[in-house]
Amino acid sequence: MNYLFDTEHISQHLVKFGVNIQPAFSPKDDKTKLQDYCNWLIEQFPQVFETLMAGPNLLQIQKVFILAGAKRLDMPTFVLTPRGPVITIPQRIFIDQPTDIDISDKDKIFRRSLDELRTRFADKKVLRVGVVHELVFDTGQLNSLEIVTSILKNELWRDEAKSIRIILEMPREGKNVNLEIRPTYVTRTASISENLPVQDMKFGIVVNVDINNQQIKTDLTKAEVNDILTFANDFVPDELIKFLNNEY
């Protein structure tokens, strides 16, 4: 089935920055410094960080985004995981229709956040930095399962497939580049158990791209972090769309 990926068909786009920190943060010993750091994030970048949520096993920051049709979405934009912090900066959000989120300089926000983290926790080392792009390409009424399974040579396999998830690992230029491709519903007007007519369903293709440094370093330098961010910007969306469209 013919389908061309392009930026105009992106209905949702989230960018996540993850940091692998060692030694790991201690919820008990680092609690006060971590909360102070989170308050600094809220003060410096209110367009991304808004409300601190803290508990015995929880440290995250929420942000309410106003979408088309006066809808509101409360999204975690900072989460402390066992490996380290994850910062999420949405570029486009889909609820009933796409809404562009006007947050410029996402890389600059992450760089400053990471620099401040290193300043406040000088004993911690940054072993790995990753950039994850989570995208949904709208295929309208074209069945996205049929689009993704069209890569299968055997017609019987294409006809019988009820679900498919493609995982690709393709390291380049010292970076891990991991892709996940799978069909999804963009919207549904009834429960998933119902047999909806095609015209009542909208389909999409989820494409997740995870880019991070291949070699684990004792402590990544600023130049090495910038190299990862630059590579990710060059790869998504231009190189990614060429790859998805088999233009190489």
pLDDT at 158 over 90: no
More confident residue, 223 or 187: 223
Side chain identity at 48, as an amino acid letter?
V
Q: Which residue is listed with tokens 């911690």?
A: 124
Q: Which residue is listed with tokens 């992450």?
A: 110
Residue 225's pLDDT is: 97
Q: Which of 139, 159, 141, 135 has the alpha carbon at shortest distance from 149? A: 159
How far is it, in rounded angstroms, from Cα 230 to Cα 246? 23
Average pLDDT, the chain: 92
3-27 pLDDT, tens digit per residue, is 999 999 999 999 999 999 999 998 7
pLDDT exceeding 70 applies to what percent of the chain?
94
Residue 187's pLDDT is: 54
DSSP secondary structure letters along 77-118: EEEE-SS-EEEEEEEEEEESEEEE-----HHHHHHHHHHHHH
161-179 pLDDT, tens digit per residue, is 889 999 999 999 999 999 9
pLDDT at 190 over 70: no
How far is it, in rounded angstroms, from Cα 39 to Cα 37? 5
Q: Which of 156, 134, 100 has the alpha carbon at shortest distance from 204? A: 134
How far is it, in rounded angstroms, from Cα 165 to Cα 180? 7
Mean pLDDT value of segment 70-84:
97
Burial (CB count <10 Å: 0-12, 13-18, 19+), residue 248: exposed
Cα separations in angstroms, 163 against 141, 181, 182, 234, 245: 17, 11, 8, 31, 21
Q: Which of 183, 73, 91, 187 has the alpha carbon at shortest distance from 132? A: 91
Instruction: Provide the pLDDT confidence category of residue 1 given band limits of 50, 70 and 90.
Output: low
Mean pLDDT value of segment 94-121:
96
Confidence (pTM)? 0.93
How far is it, in rounded angstroms, from Cα 15 to Cα 236? 10
pLDDT at 195 over 70: no
